[in-house]
Each structure stands twice: as structure tokens, then as C-alpha cells.
Amino acid sequence: MSRRQDCTGHLSEEFKKGVVEFVDFVERNPTVIDSLGRILCPCTKCKNRIRDEIFWVEKHLCDRGFLEGYTNWTAHGEERWVEHDATNVTQEHEEENTNPYVDMVIDAASDNLNVMEGLEEDPNPLASKFYKLLRSADEPLWDGCTKHTILSAVTQLVNLKSEFNMSESCYNRMVAIIKSMLPESEKLPEDFYRSKTMIQELGLGYEKIDACPNHCMLYYKETSDKTSYAACTMCGHPRFKPKAGDTINSSRCVPYSILRYFSITPRFQRLFMSKNNAQYMKWHVDGVRHDESVITHPADADAWKQFDATHEVFAQESRNVRLGLCTDGFNPFSGSKTPYSCWPVFVTPYNLPPSMCMRREYIFLSLLIPGPKSPGKRLDVYLRPLIDELKVLWDNGVTTYDAWQKKNFNMKAALLWTISDFLAYGMLSGWSTHGRLSCPICMKNTKSFRLQHGAKLYWFDCHRQYLPAGHAFRRDRYSFKKSIVENSFPPKRMSGVDILNELDKLEEANFGANSRGKKGDFGTIHNWVRKSIFWELPYWSTNLIRHNLDIMHIEKNIFDNIFNTVMDVNGKTKDNANAREDLKLICKCPNLELVFENGKYKKPKSTYVLDSQQRRIVCEWIKQLKFSDGYASNISRCVNLADGKIYGMKSHDSHVFMERLIPLAFRDVLPKSIWGVLTELSLFFKEICATEIRPDAVEQTEISIIETVCKLEKIFPLAFFDVMEHLVIHIPYEAKVGGPVQYRWMYPFERCMLFLKRKVRNKARVEGSICKAYILEEISNFTSMYFESTVQTRRTQVPRNDDGGSNLDENHLSIFRYPCLFIGRGSKKYLTDEELHIVHTYILVNCEEIEPYLQ
């Protein structure tokens, strides 16, 4: 094997024979072959650092030759020779590599390895950075150190900074203390700047796109030229800030507004290039389900199955990525009255198992829309780069290397739906969520109308039409609108194709706008303000769900309405004088009408409103509540006993209170009929928010919630029923078609926005500060996958459970397991698990059957 080529330039017979002997030797030693049939490649390029299949190792050897001096095959099972000559000295440095940080560097540069293949001359700058990083992965932190290399130490320290949101000065001081404890030969970078410079090649960058500050246009693609497009073509606003001595062509021009665009393609490619993630990207097909009749993942629901049946070519490759998109605005200035609205756009893949899906490290920031003003109806302007990339990923795909299967494939991606609150729902869909036609499901078929004394409030009186044909509520002339019998049937849900056809017609007619720009049919026949940019996606009209109703905000708003009305919170209750006036005009409730006494109008007390003593009892009970750590926040801090009120409850506090505490809080203070209806509503949210959904149970819930809403209409005033109370009847359909709400609500994205908010260091450069921290977080998440098991990070805190169940045990999820929950009035009595179970599984009409258990 001394000469690889003969005089003709072909491989010599001696070299061929040596390669065959090497391969035969390796095949006789199965201990050096891993579970995927790979061995270390001893070619001059791989140098026993990279594993590959035997066929490709043989090809590498024929193309490049053996590593110089590698004659004793110790990395492939051969015993070390006795002689200690110069050859063996070289051999000692080429032993089998078990350093996970070398694998990390190789995975991070996998998309560039093809460029480096077969280079005979000096490496290009990109390859030089890769090899420099590879050397730091093997170089010990100090002479004689066996536990840490330079790269392992830096990545763990940077991960610590990112996870605990340390400042740079704090990091520098910590590193200085660590360096003073290390031997003199230590090589740890002395500050954060040098540490970041070392590992920045492990991260993925982003693109800056100039934008008009009035949200008119992006200077993107054909309009990106600085000379030709120095001002907005729509409003005329200058593109760059004026600066003395600068010209348009100067590189120092500072734009008024910048959109940060994080391309999603390389981020999805990295998921496959890392063996730690690639094996899970086919879980939606290969994952084990203990019960096929239970929906535990969007892949088990009808929307996913319908998409696969419609687009069979896309579904044939199980590694193609299904996506969800979410956006919302937030003010980065905590506790400040400065108006500022920054809008991140997140994208998350649904291929992953339940224990990994929706975790922060798999929610990718794709766009950061600059403030200070909200983009409003012009959100589509900023979505253009992302939509263009999604169209490329659908039409052509991109060649991606699967590190788990050791094969290249053409990766494609499809957007299943968007996730947002109700305000952003209108911005994303193009359907205005204001006014009489605010429901995007019922559309023009709604029966809502404006209350005469309710200012801008609309009453959604269309729930009885969803009841079965013979239901008694349809014929009730007294409990609902005066002398009205409901004979109509529920409106048909429009398909994506029908909506697209309607939008095409409206677009041709400029959405019904007249010469003055006023839309004549808007608000009467339709609520469309524009055709959303998502309709440019070829598959968008075939999706069963395009925009999700966010149950987080719906549940929060309903809870606020119930709690503020029952507790009679001044300024927030729906039972005010105007509501009583509307009640007199529309319904037959003489006992609730305003009474004129002593020259003033008085509001008779209703049965659903608590008096001051009852409110104090409820507040004292809430003040005594205690939960196990991690289940809920300290709700007792929100109670003001002096005023008998509750302040500052967050969305998750309302979520816990609505699903777990309402039946207990109002058990002794409300009439049984009212308490029973509120318990039914509580049970509905508990069932619809379950991590496992049974389609037959959801169908029953879809019917029962309509009757529950009708019962609420018989109890509460008209002003109580805005669009949020109406949207509840549409939630079960989306749960049945889209899967568990945990994959389609805002909670994980709100946490991501809180993370971004905490990363703002430079208040004058909010977006730049966020992007800088996010890139570091990406590097931190990527490197943490290669840490030793003894290193604790956020990734290793929650155990994985890939069988479709929750990350936490059921005992941690149920409030019934917390005996510290106070139930008694004054005596601090505890309810048993059985009593709590009876209360929360209330389904009986007659409350007296439960009363004996509550004595």
C-alpha cells in the first residue's frame, strides 16, 4: 500500500489488495461497527474522525488514500504493535474519536462538507473556520486536561449565559474567576466576545430587509436597489435617515425600518443533520400509539389525514415537514407607558413527538416585524419573504441530508394553519373580526345585532339554531327573545375552495368599494378587507383548518365576563344599567328591569350576582388556596380582601380557575341552577383542553356546549354575550379536526415572546438586541444536545415520553391530587379526592343528587 497509483495514474494492484485486506479485517471485527453499519474512515480527509458505511469508506480510501502513518489499525480492532517508533507516535493521535463535540462541529457544517470534498489546495475561508473549530473540539482546556476541551468549556458556559439570561459583564467576571482557578496553561477565552467569535459558526444568521416605516412596502428583491428605490413608492417616505456627508450609495446609510428575516430552510435542514433530532422527524408515521382511537397528536386528526389524502405525492415522503405559524405583538418595555408594538412570527414543525413538539427549542423565529406601530392590515407586506420560501419548499423542495438514515432526500414543507389571538386572526385571514359579522365561521349567516343601549356591543343570538330540531329551547318564547320561535338550522361551514372563489370575485370588484373608497357591502354581506397572502400557497384552499381559534384568549375572556359579573366588579360587570335597558326591550324579564324610586333608577338584584358578604367569603377562600409548585401561580396574591375584589389574574390563572375552581368557589353562594350551568361550562373547557381526545366524546361535547350556552342566555344579561361567548360553539369542531388544543393555542408562543422580551438589553435598538440574543440561543440549544448526560440544561429537565402521553404524570396534572386545597368556609375543611371528583364530573341536571356529598 506504499504507492496508491502506478505509473499510468491508475490505482496500483498492491494498493487495491491492501484496501481489500483492510475491509476484510474490519468485517471480521464486528465490535468496531456501530448499530448503523458504520466504521471510522481512515482516509486522508476523515482521519478516523467521521464514521461512514463500509462501501463509502472503501471509496474514500481509493479516492484519497490512507492516512499517512496509519499502518497499525488500532482504531479498527487491531492490537497495538510492540514497537514504539515514529509511526506509532502518529498513530496515537488517530485513535477512535469519542468526543461528542467533534460530532457537533461536523453536524453543524454538514451542509458545507460537500464543498470541502476532494480539495487538494489550501482550504477556502469557510473550510478554514470549520477546521479551526474542529481543532478546538479536540484541544484540551489545559495541558493534561481529560474532561474538557476548549470548545466543550465555551459551549457550556455560553449555554449557561443564555439559559439564565446573564449579562455580558456578569459572564466576563465569571470567566475571569474561573480562569484564575485553572492552571497556567489554560486556554479558555477571556471574555464573551472571544467566546462568541469562536462558536458563531455553529449558528445560523438572518437577513436584514429595509422596510417603509408606514408598513407600505419592503425593499425586497427587485426593489432592493438603494439608488433606484430611495423612497417608498406608495407614501413617498424616505428609505434612509438623513446624515451629513452621506450619499445614497454609501454603506453607512441607516434605514428607517428593518425587517429581520430568519430563513427557515437551513433551520429545518439542521434538524435532519443532527442525529439527535433526525430520528424523531418521522414520529408522526412511526410513533407508537397505545390506543389508535385516541387523538394525541395532530397527525391523528382529520385535518392531517385529509391533507395527506389530497396531496399524496407530498405524503409519500414521511420526512416532509408540516408547519404551524403564529404571530402576536408585544411591548418590550416592561412597566412603561411607552407605546411600542413588536411582532415576531414563529414557525414550528409538527413532525416531532408530543414530548418534543411545541418546546421552545423547536419553535423557530422566522420574522421580526419592527415597531413601534403595529402592522395591522398590512401584515401581508412583511410576510412576503416567508411565503416565497414556503412556495419554494412546496414546489421544488431542497436537498437535505438525513443523519439518521445517512441519506440525502428532497425535503418539502407545508403550512397546515396559523395560530393567533382573535385580533391577529383578522390580520392573518383578511376577515375583519369587528362588528356584526365578526364571527369568521358563521360569516354572513350570523343573527347577531347591535344593542340599542350597549354602545358598540353586539348580541350573538344565534345559538338556538344549532340545537336539534325538536329541542324545547327552540319553542321557548319567554326565556330568550320576545315571542321568537327558532325554526332555522345552523349555517354550513364554508370550504376553502368556496372562500377562495368568493375572494376572487370580491377582488375583481375591489371588495365592493365605491369611488370614495368606502366599501358598500362591507359589514352587511361580508367582512373581507383583503385577500390574504396565504392564498398564494397552492394547497391553502384544501386545508380543513386555516386559522385556529385560540382557546387561551377565549377562555380568558369568558372567565373575566363570568367572574366580573358574578362578583359585581364596578366598571367590568356586564350587568349594568344599559344592559337592563336592553333587557327590557328584547326579553321578558320584568323582575330585572330598572325601577324608578325616589327620583332615581335602581337596579334590582339578580340571582347571579353576589352580595358583599358572599364576595368576601369567596375572596377569603381564594386567599387560602395553595397549589403544588409548577401547577399554577400564587392566585391568592391577586385577592384584595378589603375591597372584596381580585386583580391581575393572568391567562393561565384564568385557565386554572375556569377548569378547576369555579365549581368549588361558587358552590355555596350561587343558586343550584346557576352553579350547575357554570359547572357544565367548566367541565367543557376541561374536556376540550385534554391532552388526549376521543372523537366520539368530542362529538357529544359539540352538542352539549350549545345547550350550555343557551342556558347561559337564560341567566345572564344580553351584554354578556359578545363574540367570545359565541366562538365557544365552534371550538369542538376544531379540536376534532385539528387535534389537541396544546398544539394550537398561544401558551407556548407567549412564553417565547416573554423570552424575547427578557432578552432586550439595548432599549434604543430593540429588534437588533432581540435578534442578537436569539442567534445565541439557537447556538446554545444546538450545542446542548451534545453535552454529557451529567450536564443539566433546560433540555434535560423534563423527561421524554414519546408514547403520545404528557410530559408529566397524571398525578401532577390533576388538582384532585392536592389535599392542601382549602374548601371549607372558615373551618379550613378539606374535601376528599372522591368529593372533588364528584364535583368536577358534574353532569346531572338535578343538583340535589350531589348535595349530600358536599354537606
Residues 778 and 844 in one domain: no
Residues 542 and 406 in one domain: yes
pLDDT, residue 628, reads 80
Q: What is the DSSP string of 218-274?
A: B--GGG--TTT-SB-TTT--BSB---TT--TT-TT--BSEEEEE--HHHHHHHHHHS
Q: Mean pLDDT lowest for which of 68-77, 175-184, 355-364, 829-838?
A: 829-838
Residue 301 maps to a domain: yes
Identify any residues that bridge with 419 across adjacent strands, giving them in sequence order. 326, 548
In sequence order, the 6+-apart residues with CB closer than 8 A to the CB of 727 are: 422, 439, 441, 549, 554
pLDDT digits (tens, 9 = 90+) for 225-239: 877 788 888 888 998
Residue 99 maps to a domain: no
pLDDT, residue 824, reads 33
Instruction: Give the residue among 141, 120, 217, 236 at the shortest CA–CA distance from 185.
Output: 141
Q: What does the block give as the cell for 548?
A: 385556529
Give mean pLDDT, residues 722-732: 91
In sequence order, the 6+-apart residues with CB closer than 8 A to the CB of 267 are: 204, 364, 778
d(C-alpha 15, C-alpha 4), whole Å: 5
Instruction: Give the residue among 189, 196, 152 at the shortest CA–CA distance from 174.
Output: 189
d(C-alpha 186, C-alpha 158), whole Å: 18
Residues 561 and 668 in one domain: yes
Q: How far is CA 766 from CA 162, 206, 346, 850, in A?
A: 18, 16, 18, 56
d(C-alpha 434, C-alpha 825), whole Å: 43
Give mean pLDDT, residues 522-535: 89
Element (H, E) at 314: helix 312-316
pLDDT, residue 430, reads 92
Residue 706 maps to a domain: yes
Q: What does the block give as the cell for 477?
A: 318564547
Share of the chain above pLDDT 90, in %: 33
Residues 417 and 326 in one domain: yes
pLDDT, residue 482, reads 67
Residues 595 and 708 in one domain: yes
Q: State the residue range of the domain holding 61.
A: 13-76
Q: How far is CA 443 from CA 337, 448, 496, 500, in A?
A: 37, 11, 13, 14
Instruction: Give the residue among 262, 271, 538, 298 at the shortest CA–CA distance from 394.
Output: 538
Q: Which of 44, 60, 76 is the last residue of a domain?
A: 76
Residues 632 and 672 in one domain: yes
Give mean pLDDT, residues 493-505: 91
Residue 479 maps to a domain: no
Phi and psi at 625, nearest 5°, equal -65, 140
Q: Which of 56, 76, 96 is the last residue of a domain?
A: 76
User: How high does pLDDT run on average in the chain?
Assistant: 80
pLDDT, residue 788, reads 57
Q: What's the Rg (C-alpha) of the chain?
A: 32
Q: Mean pLDDT lowest for which of 199-208, 256-265, 378-387, 793-802?
A: 793-802
Residue 819 maps to a domain: yes
Residue 464 maps to a domain: no
- More confident site: 509 or 322: 322
Q: Mean pLDDT lowest for which of 397-411, 643-657, 670-684, 830-844?
A: 830-844
Q: Is 17 in a helix, a strand, or coil?
A: helix
Q: What's the CA dihedral at 677, 683, 686, 690 to 10 degrees? A: -140
163 pLDDT more than 80: yes
pLDDT digits (tens, 9 = 90+) for 335-345: 667 788 999 99
- Number of domains the chain contains: 6
Strands (E), 703-818: none
Residue 807 maps to a domain: no
Q: Mean pLDDT lowest for which of 136-140, 661-665, 813-817?
A: 813-817
pLDDT, residue 446, reads 85
Share of the chain above pLDDT 70, in %: 81
Identify any residues that bridge with 502 across adjacent strands, giving them in sequence order. none
Q: What is the DSSP string of 768-792?
A: HHHHHHHHHHHHHHHHHTTS-TTS-
* Interior angle at CA 560, CA 554 and CA 565, nearest 5: 135
pLDDT band at 519 (very low <50, low <70, confident <90, very high): low
pLDDT, residue 507, reads 83
In sequence order, the 6+-apart residues with CB closer than 8 A to the CB of 508 are: none
Q: Is 285 in a helix, a strand, or coil?
A: helix
736 pLDDT more than 50: yes
Residue 39 maps to a domain: yes
pLDDT band at 52 (very low <50, low <70, confident <90, very high): confident
pLDDT, residue 835, reads 45
**44 and 68 Cβ atoms separated by less than 8 Å:** yes
Q: Backbone dihedral region of 99: left (phi > 0), alpha (psi from -120 to 50 degrees) or beta? A: beta
In sequence order, the 6+-apart residues with CB closer than 8 A to the CB of 230 are: 238, 239, 240, 248
Q: Mean pLDDT lowest for which of 76-90, 482-496, 619-633?
A: 76-90
Q: Mean pLDDT lowest for which of 66-80, 293-307, 380-394?
A: 66-80
pLDDT, residue 524, reads 83
Q: How far is CA 249 from the centre of its chain?
A: 40
d(C-alpha 24, C-alpha 305), whole Å: 48
pLDDT, residue 103, reads 66
Give mean pLDDT, residues 511-539: 79
pLDDT digits (tens, 9 = 90+) for 170-217: 999 999 999 999 888 888 998 998 888 888 777 788 999 999 999 999
Phi and psi at 681, nearest 5°, equal -65, -40
Q: Mean pLDDT lowest for which of 91-95, 250-254, 376-380, 588-592?
A: 91-95
pLDDT, residue 593, reads 79
In this structure, is the dihedral angle defined by the CA atoms of residues 30, 35, 37 and 38, taken in order, positive or negative? negative
Q: How far is CA 688 from CA 383, 566, 682, 695, 841, in A?
A: 32, 24, 10, 11, 14
Residues 670 and 782 in one domain: no
Q: Which of 42, 76, 110 is the last residue of a domain?
A: 76
The bridge status of strand 547-549 relative to strand 413-420 is parallel
H runs (alpha helix) in 434-480: none
2 pLDDT more than 90: no
Residues 350 and 384 in one domain: yes
Amino acid at 768: G
pLDDT band at 298 (very low <50, low <70, confident <90, very high): very high
d(C-alpha 674, C-alpha 461), whole Å: 20
Residues 319 and 395 in one domain: yes
Find the helix packing angle between 731-738 and 672-688, rounded to 10°: 20
pLDDT band at 125 (very low <50, low <70, confident <90, very high): low
Letter string b/e over residues 746-761, b meaning 16 or more CB atoms within 10 A of that residue's CB: bebbbebbebbbebbe
Residues 216 and 314 in one domain: no
115 pLDDT more than 70: no
Residues 575 and 696 in one domain: yes
Residues 565 and 678 in one domain: yes
263 pLDDT more than 90: yes
554 pLDDT more than 50: yes
pLDDT digits (tens, 9 = 90+) for 637-682: 888 888 778 888 889 989 999 999 999 999 889 999 999 999 999 9
Q: Mean pLDDT lowest for which of 467-481, 537-551, 601-615, 831-845?
A: 831-845
pLDDT, residue 851, reads 39
In this structure, is the dihedral angle defined by the CA atoms of residues 227, 233, 238 and 239, taken in order, positive or negative? negative
Give mean pLDDT, residues 500-524: 74
List the 257-261 sheet strands across, edge first: 207-211, 257-261, 364-369, 343-349, 321-327, 413-420, 547-549
In this structure, is the dihedral angle defined by the CA atoms of residues 528, 534, 540 and 545, taken in order, positive or negative? negative
* Residue that has been written with the C-alpha cell 438603494 in this structure: 226
**480 and 713 Cβ atoms separated by less than 8 Å:** yes
Instruction: Give the residue among 689, 697, 713 at the shortest CA–CA distance from 467.
Output: 713
- Out of 477-486, 597-606, 773-782, the most confident range is 773-782
Residue 187, judged by CB atoms within 10 A of its CB (0-12, 13-18, 19+), counts as: middle
